[in-house]
Structure 1
Amino acid sequence: MKQFLALSALALSAAAMPLTASADTAADVQQQCAACHALTHDYATQDIVERDARKAPPLDYAGNKFNRDWLVGWLQNPTRIRPAGAFPPAHVKPSADGDVIDESTLEAHVKLSEEQATAFADYLMTLQPLTQLIEATTYEPGTIAERMGKMNFGKFKGCDACHQDSPKSGGLSGPELYTAWQRLQPAFIASYIADPVSWDPHTMMPEGDAKADAVAKLANYLKVIGEKQ
């Protein structure tokens, strides 16, 4: 029994140790991130079963997607963005009140040191295979009355079926969006809303109204609520 406890303590200590960064950051990211995240766009050519097997969202177009400073901070203090994980059906269980998230199946993201987070973020920002989609975006950030934006987000577009626009308000199968403006580049937000399949052929997000004004209303609402965080 004592031996078992000692081994358990050793395992927990090892899990809590910070990741070590090598001189070759690209190789280090590949070694420490690729088990859960796609780092090349090859996954886009794979069968739909690739979607079912995901442990975490793809990072192959991270440089087209994220705000670098947010990424550096998040890697040091990660919080869950997708309440039900990258593939929600794998993380739910039945209950008396219907299906609920099985928290025991969701793994916590490892924390990086400031030095590691900076190095990893700088490398991830070089991954930009879909720059042409960013360059094709005409969206210019604007504003919208929060009340009207919320009505459009929920009642008219139905985004709240999958996404939260405030903590504990909205769906759980997609990433929360009340911090989207902080973590995502504006052009990416607009481009993904307009044409999610071009970014991720296996996305669970349906294609909606791709007209520029419709996209701008949603993107501007994310800007309004994001700037309040």
Structure 2
Amino acid sequence: MVGAGALLLSAVLLWGCDSADGTLPPPQAPPAAAPIAAGPVPAGEELIRELGCGACHAGLPARGQAAAPGLDDVGQRYTPGQLFAYLQNPQPARSGSARARMPDFHLDERESLALTLYLTDGRGRRAGRGEGDAERAFEQAQRQHRESDAELGRAIFRSQNCAGCHVRSGEDAWAAGPLLSGEGSRAEPEWLREFLRNPTPVRPFGFQPGTGSRMPDFRLSAEEVDTLGAYLMRQTQPLAAGTQPPRELSPFARAKAEALLREQLPCLGCHAIDGEGGRIGPDLARVRERRQPAYIEAMLRDPQATSPGTVMPPTPMPPETFELILGYLLGREGATEPERLSLVENRIHFPQGRSNEELLYGRVCAACHGPQGGADGYNARFLPTPPTVHASAEYISLRPDDTMYDGIHSGGRILNRSPRMPAFGAMLGREQIRGLVRHIRELCRCDGPRWARDGGEGRR
């Protein structure tokens, strides 16, 4: 571990000091929290601008200019050890930037090492600055973690949207977090306050599945938590929810709901309950403590209208099944700790491609089937049935286009495959599904059975 003196030195070198004698002020305990309804809206907007929340979240006021230093020459200004130490324990403030601060992204040693290697680009050592605990810790980490390299560091730089605050050539900012313009209609006030105080993972590997983006910890004071919470709770939107609250479930009804979720419905392909299920979406065992009942119902009814841009498709259900699942989710209490997946052990993936089909595949398929169709997406290991290997010519060449279309449109159950493969027919149009089928043919570099081709023709 890096010594406290090295951590203090790296923080001073990177961010400056906040007192006349060149030392950082000692940490102070925050005052007791006030009710979340307190706090003026103008102050909330001002704080959001100062912290730069709009760099990741749409629907929030944007900061006028970057408040963080450029990173093109950071490897010339600081040693690898200084950067390595700082990334693992960033100080909360720097002088001359109001309340702007470098937040904590919860980077472990391997993740910090990879990011350091990317930022220094092999040019990190300065004459006379290569000794001390920080440098020894960096060199030891290099020996222990060969898997952490500059290429992985660049992926981590992108995944955490570092370019949202820092300028670095060749890097662009992106929307790494959810839209917050209607957060007051979604979040439970007490949960929101606790989340702002101590951010925990909601989606284990990124708001956009596979990106690995994280909500960092700004180490907000109790007053700042109340100010931000009050502002966000005033941002509301209309929701398409029912008028009757769901009935309280009997033990038999709860057991039936759990059986449906585990054996027939696709929900656990993306969400987990009690440690079982996918890691694409939020944990369903904790959804009620986070979200208001009307929002949970609206997401079940029409996720695309409720949360535009989500990759969650609607799941057709009879009314009685819908009420049963809704009642079950509203009656659940959190039983598992939030999970944050490693940025080293799981492949970071950004949806991208030369065609709309490839881009769509990256958004809705790659988390399980892998970016190149190898069934090696980060979510695959959480599924009881391995995903189809779309890159396998041996397997896919035996499947007609119509069969693949049906599987995408109506889900795995229609093909006697895993029910955890969701149906995308209510979310995607016909041409989009046909485009996905064409892209799968490109991945396997194969045609379907000759008898199933129009006119017996193959790929062109």
- TM-score when scaled to structure 2? 0.38
Find the counterpart in structure 2 of residue 87 from structure 1.
208
Q: Residue 177 in 1 paired to residue 284 in 2? A: yes
Shift of 1:106: 4.2
Contact 2:286 2:335 survives alignment (8 Å) = no
Find the counterpart in structure 2 of residue 26 from structure 1.
45
Q: 1:165 aligns with which of 273, 276, 283?
A: 273
Gaps of 5+ in 2: 1-5, 16-23, 30-38, 61-172, 337-460
Write out per-residue CA displacement over residues 45-98 of structure 1, whole angstroms, 9 at most, x where no aligned residue.
Answer: xxxxxxx9431122111011011111112211221111011012223xxxxxxx
Find the counterpart in structure 2 of residue 101 from structure 1.
none
Shift of 1:203: 0.8
Find the counterpart in structure 1 of residue 198 from structure 2.
77
Contact 1:190 1:216 survives alignment (8 Å) = no
Matched AA of 1:71: L
Matched AA of 1:157: L
Moved more, 141-150 or 82-91: 141-150
Q: 1:156 to 1:30 in 2, by over 3 A?
A: farther
Write out per-residue CA displacement over residues 128-162 of structure 1, whole angstroms, 9 at most, x where no aligned residue.
Answer: 1x22x25x423413333332221222322110100
Find the counterpart in structure 2 of residue 45 from structure 1.
none
Q: 1:172 to 1:218 in 2, by over 3 A?
A: same
Distance in 2, matches of 1:181 and 1:37, equals 23
Find the counterpart in structure 1 of residue 257 from structure 2.
149
Distance in 2, matches of 1:187 and 1:137, equals 8
Question: Per the alignment, in what secondary structure is the counterpart of residue 273 of structure 2?
Answer: strand
Point out the structure with max Rg over C-alpha. 2
Distance in 1, matches of 2:232 and 2:319, equals 29
Q: Residue 39 in 1 paired to residue 39 in 2? A: no
Find the counterpart in structure 2 of residue 116 from structure 1.
224
Distance in 1, matches of 2:267 and 2:49, equals 34
Gaps of 5+ in 1: 41-51, 92-104
Matched AA of 2:232: L
Percent identical across equivalent pairs? 28
Bigger RCO of structures 1 and 2 (CA < 8 A, at least 6 apart): 1
- TM-score when scaled to structure 1? 0.72
Shift of 1:116: 1.2
Q: Residue 54 in 1 paired to residue 181 in 2? A: no
Contact 1:149 1:218 survives alignment (8 Å) = yes
Contact 1:139 1:212 survives alignment (8 Å) = no
Distance in 1, matches of 2:298 and 2:190, equals 21
Matched AA of 2:289: Q
Find the counterpart in structure 2 of residue 187 from structure 1.
294
Q: 1:196 to 1:115 in 2, by over 3 A?
A: same
Contact 1:139 1:216 survives alignment (8 Å) = no
How many aligned residue pairs are there?
A: 196
Shift of 1:199: 1.7
Question: Per the alignment, in what secondary structure is the counterpart of residue 24 of structure 1?
Answer: helix
Shift of 1:226: 2.0
Distance in 2, matches of 1:39 and 1:87, equals 17
Question: Per the alignment, in what secondary structure is the counterpart of residue 84 of structure 1?
Answer: coil
RMSD: 3.2
Contact 2:184 2:233 survives alignment (8 Å) = yes
Q: 1:190 to 1:125 in 2, by over 3 A?
A: same
Matched AA of 1:117: V
Distance in 1, matches of 2:298 and 2:276, equals 25
Shift of 1:214: 3.2
Contact 1:88 1:173 survives alignment (8 Å) = yes
Shift of 1:163: 0.4
Question: Per the alignment, in what secondary structure is the counterpart of residue 283 of structure 2?
Answer: coil
